């Protein structure tokens, strides 16, 4: 049993009402999850815009009565007590509940969750991976390397949470602090030694990862995405940089692993006190590609380490951009003291990364890949890689998600038509937006190139398969591993890989 006063250690308290020595059974920011003995943390409405109506629409302070009705023993508030509404009929007794006003309930949620779960990250090797692109693939490659070194490793990311022998589907890149700390606690209980986790810019901005004692953090790159949330590239960069500013402040030896080919790398390096390991394909770096070959069977490349040791790696993954993901994962292995033989073995024995340039092969005489590329940079990288592998035409199916950064839509339209021989513009996850409005914004960026518009994604994929000829290369971009579409707010089953396979098998 844990007392409220104990888990409030390190939290800046402004005011308090009631007994802080009460014992608590759990922590949540969702009043519907509250049970007897729980602490309910009121998260204020953090963000809302015309383009992101899906985000943080409610204020936790409006649900205090619901939480108490469900059995809450304590309420953590950011607003003054005078602004907390009480039921007019006095059906609930606020006097029986402890109220604690803090300066930031998001910070409080993170710190309280760490204390409640006995600071699990202190007992693990924790590797964080952040950046616009490459987070998922880097995590998969890194986990394989650490496993090859005998380090039992969990993975937390966009696709899946893999803990021991269990795979749990993930619904966001980095979950809220109390859930994240509970999962880290479970990883410790499972007897695992390490965790590799994606750390999104949203999570950093919203303090979900606050207090986690990272042993290493990777910066993959920074290109346009989420600018509606971060209010421009400067805000986006600052959110990513937070992870590196905090490295090493918990008395752990920490490493900042930086992509030296990215123009923002210097800024990241200037804002960390951790030991830096750089990796690159083009620029000088500690882990540097010397030469590489990309084929339809994968990547072969040679890497020099600190200008001394050289190693050849044969990677099963397709696409030249995976060089960066492999280098980042190698750097993680180096930071954890693993030998190059172990690192090489781990890389070469990594299986596919779901929805990342993943082939759909039914024996057809043309290539079909499904890729998660949903930013201009990721799309350009995917299509550039496809061009080097294609024996004939590139046919691309793509759309843009609704209720997200609208600024990238015309840019992506331009990228696709310039780098493809033929493009089919369709829907992605329109969410609450009109699909045709999204498509019209994509079309606004197209200045040349051949394309057609097919709003229904299933029909668009079928059309791409139908018109493909021997040697063509079909790229189905945007959704990758996702097995759903969100249309008019409703989530329905939809998997690009399944639809493509069906279309190939029924092609006449």
Give which of 269, 213, 210, 205 is closest to 238, Cα–Cα. 205
- Which strands form 26-28's sheet, in the order they lie side by side? 13-17, 98-102, 74-77, 38-41, 26-28
Q: Among 3.30.428.10, 1.25.40.10, 1.10.3720.10, 3.40.1390.10, what is the CATH number of 2-115?
A: 3.40.1390.10
The DSSP output letter for 308 is T
CA distance 277 to 218: 9
The DSSP result for 159-202, as a single string, is: SEEEETTEEEE-SSSS--HHHHHHHHHHHHHTT--EEEEE--HH
Handedness of CA 456, 380, 419, 323 (dihedral sign): negative
- pLDDT the model gives residue 230: 45
pLDDT tens string 201-216: 778 888 889 999 999 9
- pLDDT the model gives residue 276: 97
- pLDDT the model gives residue 161: 60
- pLDDT the model gives residue 231: 59
Instruction: Give the rounded percent of residues in the chain with a pLDDT score beyond 70.
Output: 91
CA distance 49 to 57: 10
Give the count of beta carbons closer than 10 Å to the beta carbon of residue 306.
11
pLDDT tens string 33-72: 999 999 999 998 765 444 344 345 689 999 999 999 999 9
Q: What's the pLDDT band for 158 if we cut at 50, 70, 90? A: low
- pLDDT the model gives residue 508: 59
Secondary-structure breakdown of the chain: helix, strand, coil percentages, each rounded to the nearest 5: 35, 25, 40
pLDDT at 169 over 60: no
- pLDDT the model gives residue 307: 80
**β-strand pairing of 125-130 with 194-198:** parallel
Q: What value does the mean pLDDT take over residues 175-191?
A: 92
Q: What value does the mean pLDDT take over residues 442-467?
A: 96
309 vs 428, more confident: 428
**β-strand pairing of 484-487 with 473-477:** unpaired
CA distance 215 to 337: 12
pLDDT tens string 217-235: 999 998 755 445 545 677 7
**DSSP helix/strand/coil, 498:** helix
CA distance 26 to 93: 21
CA distance 309 to 289: 12
The answer to whether 217 and 121 are in contact (CB under 8 A) is: no
The answer to whether 118-348 and 358-505 have equal CATH topology is no
Indicate the domain borders of the chain: 2-115, 118-348, 358-505
Give which of 499, 281, 183, 467 is closest to 370, Cα–Cα. 499
The DSSP result for 377-418, as a single string, is: HHHHHHHHHHHHH-SS-EEEEE---TTS-TTHHHHHHHHHHH
The CATH classification number of 118-348 equals: 3.40.1190.10
- pLDDT the model gives residue 264: 92
pLDDT tens string 318-352: 888 899 999 999 999 999 999 999 999 999 999 88
Q: What's the pLDDT band for 90 if we cut at 50, 70, 90? A: low
The answer to whether 324 and 134 are in contact (CB under 8 A) is: yes
Tell me how far CA of residue 399 lies from CA of 83, 149, 274, 433, in angstroms: 44, 41, 40, 13
Rounded-to-10 torsion of CA 461, 466, 472, 476: 0
Instruction: Give the rounded percent of residues in the chain with a pLDDT score beyond 90.
Output: 72
- pLDDT the model gives residue 92: 66
pLDDT at 167 over 70: no
The answer to whether 479 and 428 are in contact (CB under 8 A) is: yes
User: Where is average pLDDT lowest: 111-115, 237-241, 363-367?
Assistant: 237-241
Q: Residue 25: which region, alpha, beta or left (left: phi > 0; alpha: psi -120 to 50)? A: alpha
Give the ranges where 194-263 is alpha helix by DSSP (H): 201-205, 227-230, 233-245
- pLDDT the model gives residue 256: 97
Question: Which residues lie below 8 Å from residue 308, measured CB to CB, with a gap of 6+?
Answer: none
Burial class (CB in 10 A: 0-12, 13-18, 19+), 104: middle
Would you identify the CATH topology of the domain 358-505?
3.90.190
**β-strand pairing of 160-163 with 166-169:** antiparallel
Average pLDDT, the chain: 89
- pLDDT the model gives residue 240: 85
Q: Indicate the length of the chain as a whole number.
A: 508
The rounded Cα 291 to chain-centroid distance in angstroms is: 30
Q: What's the pLDDT band for 375 if we cut at 50, 70, 90? A: confident
350 vs 175, more confident: 350
């Amino acid at each position: 049993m844990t007392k409220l006063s104990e888990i409030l250690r390190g939290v800046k308290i402004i005011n308090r009402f009631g007994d802080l020595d009460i014992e608590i059974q759990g922590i949540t920011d969702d009043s519907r999850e509250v049970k007897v003995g729980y602490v309910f943390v009121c998260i204020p409405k953090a963000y809302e815009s015309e383009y992101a109506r899906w985000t943080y629409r409610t204020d936790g302070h409006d649900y205090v009565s619901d939480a108490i009705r469900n059995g809450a023993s304590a309420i953590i508030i950011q607003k003054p007590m005078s602004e907390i509404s009480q039921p007019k009929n006095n059906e609930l007794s606020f006097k029986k509940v402890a109220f604690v006003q803090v300066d930031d309930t998001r910070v409080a949620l993170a710190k309280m969750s760490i204390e409640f779960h006995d600071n699990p990250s202190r007992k693990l090797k924790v590797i964080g991976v952040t950046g616009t692109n490459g987070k998922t693939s880097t995590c998969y490659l890194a986990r394989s390397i650490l496993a090859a070194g005998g380090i039992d490793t969990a993975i937390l990311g966009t696709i899946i949470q893999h803990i021991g022998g269990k795979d749990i589907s993930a619904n966001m890149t980095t979950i809220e602090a109390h859930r994240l700390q509970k999962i880290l606690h479970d990883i410790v209980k499972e007897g695992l030694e390490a965790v590799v986790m994606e750390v999104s810019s949203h999570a950093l901005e919203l303090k979900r990862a606050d207090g986690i004692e990272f042993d290493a953090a990777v910066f993959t790159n920074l290109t346009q995405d989420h600018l509606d949330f971060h209010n421009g590239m400067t805000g986006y960069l600052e959110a990513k940089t937070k992870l590196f500013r905090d490295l090493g402040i918990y008395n752990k030896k920490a490493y900042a692993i930086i992509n030296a080919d990215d123009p923002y790398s210097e800024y990241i390096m200037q804002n960390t006190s951790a030991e830096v390991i750089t990796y690159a394909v083009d620029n000088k770096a500690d882990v540097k590609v010397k030469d590489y070959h990309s084929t339809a069977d994968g990547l072969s490349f040679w890497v020099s380490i600190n200008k001394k040791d050289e190693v050849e790696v044969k990677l099963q993954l397709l696409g030249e951009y995976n060089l960066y993901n492999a280098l980042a994962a190698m750097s993680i292995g180096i930071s954890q003291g693993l030998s190059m033989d172990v690192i090489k073995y781990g890389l070469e024995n990594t299986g596919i990364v779901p929805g990342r340039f993943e082939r759909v092969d039914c024996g057809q005489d043309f290539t079909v890949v499904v890729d998660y590329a949903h930013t201009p940079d990721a799309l350009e990288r995917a299509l550039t890689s496809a061009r080097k592998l294609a024996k004939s035409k590139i046919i691309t199916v793509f759309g843009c998600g609704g209720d997200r950064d609208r600024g990238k839509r015309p840019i992506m339209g331009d990228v696709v038509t310039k780098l493809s021989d033929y493009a089919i513009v369709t829907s992605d996850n329109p969410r609450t937006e009109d699909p045709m409005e999204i498509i019209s914004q994509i079309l606004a960026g197209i200045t040349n190139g051949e394309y057609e518009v097919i709003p229904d994604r299933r029909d668009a994929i079928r059309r791409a398969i139908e018109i493909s000829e021997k040697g063509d290369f079909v790229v189905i971009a945007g959704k990758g591993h996702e097995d759903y579409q969100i249309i008019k707010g409703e989530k329905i089953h939809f998997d690009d890989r399944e639809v493509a396979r069906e279309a190939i098998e029924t092609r006449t």
